[in-house]
A and B are shown apart, each in its own frame.
Chain A
């Protein structure tokens, strides 16, 4: 592989400088040209078929702590990932160098890897042209958001904390990304989106609370309102009392639901069932959750983000995963679909991989109970702001462990009466989704353990806490 840096024409260099300053992404036409160039180069090297992915990001993130910005970063990058197929074998090579020598080297590396292995009897030819549903999730104002705008918003949030004798930490991030793919059978797909995120932890004495939002547009949330909410809850979280571990009725805010149930959905992959590593083995079509649990995977939902095609360029379909408590359908990549004699649902990962596919755009059917109504209806229980460091203890019963964090409150006789020291839980997610008593409206939620989903707050009985920590 050549070790020289990228060679480019002066005109191209000038263009790059302009683009670097403005953080503009390549146009769809330019992406198509990159892909066509790789396909042309690959054709001359002996590859029977070739697939090309181009990913580009321009992201910026302002980080604050102790009521001041302490880290502030921006990145720009583009990668070209090439999968070749030759004689029933396939492999992938990826580079972020766009000069022709480097692209040639990546193609050669992909071919060399492909040649080194035995034939794969399950390898499918590449798919041809597909039709995609258009989704517009690119907001120019978000793409153009400046470090000064982020700094001013952070300053306002920090000033609020300072005024109240509190300590704020968090992030304000904005960015744009795009993905395009094409293959030697004429398939071409492209998608771009913007994203913005604000997250804040406010500490008061030894207590803390947290609020976070994430959307395609920076206009879809108000950082100051999130700061207000975290600040008020941090104040409520002081003077926490210690309770004994045990089973409690819990009111899980949407972020807590999201981070816990997020570990469940890799089990809805057809490949996971074929590998017998899914908790749904021997459980499909049988009542598994409460009748009030209905879940779909839907990239087209207005509160979702993500491309309308998968790693092989297959259009993503809306899939009903759980219908009134019964696991009904799985998601399929092309290979797992063929093995199961099903149609691919457009959920495959970039090949080659051993995991197959997964639903990535979960949407729960919510209810109509507000958080306030859930609290008012609770004789004794705990209100949970968020969960932390969640890991799987038992893969079949889906027992998860983790901690409560940043605001755990005791509810008695329909009202919040005090803050509570944080608990460790060991709770089966399957059991939890059988014990849901009330659901709130489904909202776009964001946490730290799972990808964003559209989920409701939930009131759940008999949630198991096993130990208590020191704060």
Chain B
């Protein structure tokens, strides 16, 4: 058993005093005992306590104002060579025992339709505790302060004539998880997650245009405290966001052509998510998601052979703290495997998958890459993206613009879609600008681009440097049945692509 020495933070001491920590370990141990007695050959237990606060405004009025907590426990077992999982919010010894027994019954039922025994690669046992770093606990910041900020931002946007809808939001989550396994791991983790965003919409002349900051669909989210909200200076950006939403009505339609495309960092983050992050999930590759999320073009014969992108494209899956406070940052995954950094694309070559202990064994790897994650105590951990990031290149953003003669710069996602094997994609963004002669020229509305994944990444000829790199958070990645929503991280800086199909979303054939 490997034990990482670490000073327990004050909150843990307090939690121990309050008994929750002790109670969770007691219940977890009891669940593991019952599972073993009922015939499980392996079991792991995840207790989780999730707290969330949501604040929104719309047109100067408070919209959602809600807080929630959920606590419970999920038990995963291997029995007769097959998996079973059950979860309960009945946190008594009897309730947990019934849940563990149910998990074993389910596993034995699974064995009625198995083709082979489940085998997992080895992993050490760990006893550890970890919490994500934050400076300001958002649950301790006065609600009045938080709402005052949103209402002030909302008012700033509404000052712009032509704006017909203004929206702001704050979201905070505090998640405690207790992982215990029959191989002896006992891991407690606490994550603090913050998110915020603003948007202005304008309806005029049979057209709806919208601008968002710092990103669309809820803004930016990261493993930070309230300092994230303060760092984004929503108030300063509010007038620009509103003005751009109105100005888009007068902008020219984005042309249809094949040409040079520059993507802003947040849009590139979503491009990475859809065209790199999902296809490298080994459960998809092995057909385990075929009925819902789909499969992947990255079949096993492609590993270390496929030229995924151009020489300057380097992508990692990095869950470690040193990568940054991403939504895919943790100390251990939900299968008790330590956070790792895995090369996904190295100098343009396809190098690695996201795996768990079971799929790692199936393709002959010695160790899981540590990507099993669960939304909540009532969901089975499945392979999920961690922080799938495009490493920075060498260009300063100004130099990239100055060094581009004719291109379209697109920013802030409006829609996204990709086929179920992750070849063909189409994205549209809220806004675009022509780049002419090394300068940002006229604004364009309704921009879109599309292509084939590997052709697109192989056309990348410039990536901006670390100064322009942001670790974006995608809080709403859906996968699995029952559906689970997970936050993923995507580091990206603006990048340039050649010979891209532009404008197809609005083509009239």
A, B in one complex: yes
Q: Is the CB of A426 within 8 A of B23?
A: no
| Contact with A122, one of B61, B97, B450 (Cβ below 8 angstroms) | B61
Q: Given the complex, which residues of B lie within 8 Å of A170, measured CB to CB?
A: 291
Main secondary structure of the interface of B (DSSP, over half): mixed
Given A63-B481, A96-B71: A72 in contact with B107 (beta carbons within 8 A): yes
Q: Given the complex, which residues of B lie within 8 Å of A91, measured CB to CB?
A: 65-67
Report the count of interface residues on A (CB-CB < 8 A): 110
Which of the four size classes fits the interface of chain B?
35 or more
Given A21-B98, A389-B420: A201 in contact with B85 (beta carbons within 8 A): no
In the assembled complex, B364 has its CB within 8 A of some CB on chain A = no
A56-78 CB contacts (< 8 Å) to partner B: 59-78
In the assembled complex, A46 has its CB within 8 A of some CB on chain B = no
A151-175 CB contacts (< 8 Å) to partner B: 151-152, 154-155, 158, 167, 169-171, 173
A-B contact pairs, 26 of them (CB 8 A): A3-B20, A13-B92, A21-B102, A65-B290, A66-B115, A68-B114, A72-B110, A75-B88, A77-B70, A77-B378, A96-B70, A116-B147, A147-B110, A169-B288, A173-B481, A203-B290, A275-B58, A282-B206, A353-B64, A394-B506, A395-B208, A396-B208, A426-B507, A467-B501, A469-B452, A470-B452
In the A-B complex, the 9 residue pairs with the smallest Cβ-Cβ separation, listed nearest first, are A354-B63, A116-B143, A147-B109, A20-B98, A469-B424, A276-B203, A94-B68, A169-B290, A17-B94
Q: Given the complex, which residues of B lie within 8 Å of A169, measured CB to CB?
A: 287-291
Q: Given the complex, which residues of A lie within 8 Å of B98, measured CB to CB?
A: 17, 20-21
Q: Is the CB of A354 within 8 A of B380?
A: no
Q: Given the complex, which residues of A lie within 8 Å of B420, measured CB to CB?
A: 388-389, 403, 405
In the assembled complex, A195 has its CB within 8 A of some CB on chain B = no
B91: min CB distance to chain A, Å = 4
| Contact with A424, one of B115, B144, B417, B482 (Cβ below 8 angstroms) | B417
Closest B residue to A171 by beta carbon equals: B481
Report A1-24 CB contacts with B as 1/0, cut-off 8 Å. Answer: 111111010000110110011000
How many A-B Cβ pairs are below 8 Å? 329
Question: What is the CA–CA distance of A203 and B417 in the complex, to the nearest angstrom?
Answer: 22
Q: Is the CB of B291 within 8 A of A201?
A: yes
B152: min CB distance to chain A, Å = 12
Q: Is the CB of B85 within 8 A of A71?
A: yes
Q: Is the CB of A148 within 8 A of B288?
A: no
* Residues on A facing B (Cβ under 8 Å): 1-6, 8, 13-14, 16-17, 20-21, 59-79, 81, 90-97, 106, 109-110, 112-114, 116-118, 120, 122, 146-148, 150-152, 154-155, 158, 167, 169-171, 173, 199-201, 203, 208, 210, 245-247, 275-277, 281-282, 352-354, 388-396, 399, 401-403, 405, 422, 424, 426, 448, 464, 466-471
Question: What is the CA–CA distance of A95 and B70 in the complex, to the nearest angstrom?
Answer: 6
Question: What is the CA–CA distance of A120 and B63 in the complex, to the nearest angstrom?
Answer: 10
Question: What is the CA–CA distance of A200 and B203 in the complex, to the nearest angstrom?
Answer: 42
Q: Given the complex, which residues of A lie within 8 Å of B88, measured CB to CB?
A: 20, 75-77
In the assembled complex, B246 has its CB within 8 A of some CB on chain A = no
Q: Is the CB of B113 within 8 A of A155?
A: yes
Q: Is the CB of B109 within 8 A of A113?
A: no
Question: What is the CA–CA distance of A221 and B187 in the complex, to the nearest angstrom?
Answer: 44
Closest A residue to B27 by beta carbon equals: A5
Q: Is the CB of B97 within 8 A of A17?
A: yes
Q: Is the CB of B287 within 8 A of A354?
A: no
A168: min CB distance to chain B, Å = 9
Q: Given the complex, which residues of B lie within 8 Å of A20, measured CB to CB?
A: 88, 90, 94-95, 98-99, 102
| Contact with B82, one of A61, A69, A120 (Cβ below 8 angstroms) | A69
Question: What is the CA–CA distance of A470 and B298 in the complex, to the nearest angstrom?
Answer: 13
| Contact with A92, one of B15, B67, B116, B208 (Cβ below 8 angstroms) | B67
Given A62-B110, A79-B70: A403 in contact with B419 (beta carbons within 8 A): yes
Q: Given the complex, which residues of A lie within 8 Å of B421, measured CB to CB?
A: 469-471
Question: What is the CA–CA distance of A172 and B65 in the complex, to the nearest angstrom?
Answer: 37
Question: What is the CA–CA distance of A91 and B342 in the complex, to the nearest angstrom?
Answer: 44
